[in-house]
Amino acid sequence: MEFFDKLDLNNDTQAENKMSENTEHVKCLIIGSGPAGYTAAIYASRANMTPVMYEGLQPGGQLTTTTEVENFPGYPEGVTGPVMMEDLKKQAQRFGADIRWGLATAVDFSTMPRKVTIDGNKTIEADTVIIATGATAKYLGLEDEQKYAGSGVSACATCDGFFYRGKDVAVVGGGDTAAEEALYLAGLCNKVYLIVRRNEMRASKVMQERVFKTENIEVLWEHQTKGLTGEGVVEGAVLYKKKGTPEEEEVTIKIDGFFLAIGHKPNSDIFAEYIDVDEVGYINTVAGTAQTNVEGVFACGDVQDSHYRQAVTAAGSGCMAAIDAERYWSEKFA
């Protein structure tokens, strides 16, 4: 440990990556900074890939909006999301990762080296690119979601459910996430309304059965949210029942928490011209690897994972991406 503390590895990184005023050439560019990006940075630094990371709009990613993380191995007492992200960042910097503020705004993967524009005005030419841009929770688009952000509106029950112990809450959505979040909240809260816009759920049968068997979950079929009410914090929601039909009516429920669980949008838009994505936008990787369809470009974390979406699986895939990038670089450029 002391050995690494004494080395000024950041300077080594900068020296090895050739610089000019607005264009810079790097061996390994990491875009995005959640558990996937930071883990990729740790592994890539230790493999002498002298990685440069741009952290993006939300340094640390989705976990910085969570409170306690209790399921990441190595923290027996739990840890807050922001502290864990800071730990991962320091660990990557200790091995020389060059971590910078900045947002990737465009890419050109048609040339070699690959080109990535940062903040619209700087070009990074990279031998390898690791995409770790994560995913963003979807919202309904109601003004009230912003008005009550952090005051009763949340897109992560496992993060924020604890604050609503013994209270009444609502979850919006009919997929596996909504079912999972409703079940999680049912274990903490007095009552959970599950607001489903159709007369059936998209969630797997087994999850639906669990929801139906849970006494303190009430499914509000064919309901949509009109707005939220409350003095400074959420105190209720106004819903449409059977919107757009002759039986349409307004329904009011009393709740303290309003949880969105209507899916996530992978942050892959700027890559979509070059990178294969699925119908939702998740980046397709070659099974068992982090390799995308573009040579030298790798993807890890939630931007390529619609299924597990956990910090620990994101970190694992970040490790895979760095190892794949290093092997590719050694074969191609060493």
Backbone angles phi, psi at 16, to 5 degrees: -75, -30
Where is 297: in which H helix or E strand? strand 297-299
- Contact letters for ligand NDP, residues 133-172 (x by CB under 6 A): -------x-------------------------------x
Report how far residue 319's alpha carbon sits from residue 325's, in angstroms, rounded to the nearest whole number: 10
Figure out which of the listed residues 56, 161, 174, 296 binds ligand NDP, where binding follows CB under 6 A: 174
Q: Which residue lies nearer to ligand NDP by CB, 175 or 316?
A: 175
Q: Yes or no: say if 318 and 38 are a contact pair by the CB < 8 Å rule.
A: yes
306 interacts with ligand NDP by CB under 6 A: yes
Q: Tell the burial category of 315 from Cβ atoms under 10 Å away from its Cβ (0-12, 13-18, 19+).
A: buried
Check the CA dihedral 196-199-202-206 and report its sign.
positive
16 interacts with ligand NDP by CB under 6 A: no
In the complex, minimum distance from the CB of residue 328 to ligand NDP, in angstroms, rounded to a whole number? 30
In the complex, minimum distance from the CB of residue 220 to ligand NDP, in angstroms, rounded to a whole number? 11
Of 159, 300, 305, 324, the catalytic one is: 159
Figure out which of the listed residues 173, 230, 236, 301 binds ligand NDP, where binding follows CB under 6 A: 173
Active site residue 160: yes
Give me the DSSP letters along 172-217. E-SSHHHHHHHHHHHTTSSEEEEE-SSSS--S-HHHHHHHHH-TTE
Active site residue 324: no
Of 98, 160, 168, 305, the catalytic one is: 160
175 interacts with ligand NDP by CB under 6 A: yes
178 interacts with ligand NDP by CB under 6 A: yes
Q: Which residue lies nearer to ligand NDP by CB, 129 or 179?
A: 179
Active site residue 300: no
Using CA atoms, how far residue 247 sits from 241, 250, 321, in Å, is 8, 10, 53
Figure out which of the listed residues 129, 228, 262, 283 binds ligand NDP, where binding follows CB under 6 A: 262
307 interacts with ligand NDP by CB under 6 A: yes
Report which residue's Cβ sits closest to ligand NDP. Answer: 175
Tokens matching residue 280? 């939702």
Report how far residue 68's alpha carbon sits from residue 3's, in angstroms, rounded to the nearest whole number: 33
In the complex, minimum distance from the CB of residue 226 to ligand NDP, in angstroms, rounded to a whole number? 12
Hey, how many other C-beta atoms are within 10 angstroms of the C-beta on 191?
18
Binding segment (CB under 6 A) for ligand NDP, from list 95-103, 197-205, 290-298, 323-331: 197-205
Figure out which of the listed residues 263, 312, 313, 316 binds ligand NDP, where binding follows CB under 6 A: 263
266 interacts with ligand NDP by CB under 6 A: no
- The DSSP bridge partners found for residue 117 are 106, 123
Site for ligand NDP in 59-88 (CB under 6 A): none
Q: Is 195 left (phi over 0), alpha (psi -120 to 50) or beta?
A: beta
How many alpha carbons lie under 13 Å from residue 166 in its C-beta half-sphere?
A: 0
In the complex, minimum distance from the CB of residue 139 to ligand NDP, in angstroms, rounded to a whole number? 9
Binding site for ligand NDP (CB under 6 A): 140, 172-178, 180, 197-198, 202, 262-263, 306-307
Active site residues per annotation = 156, 159-160
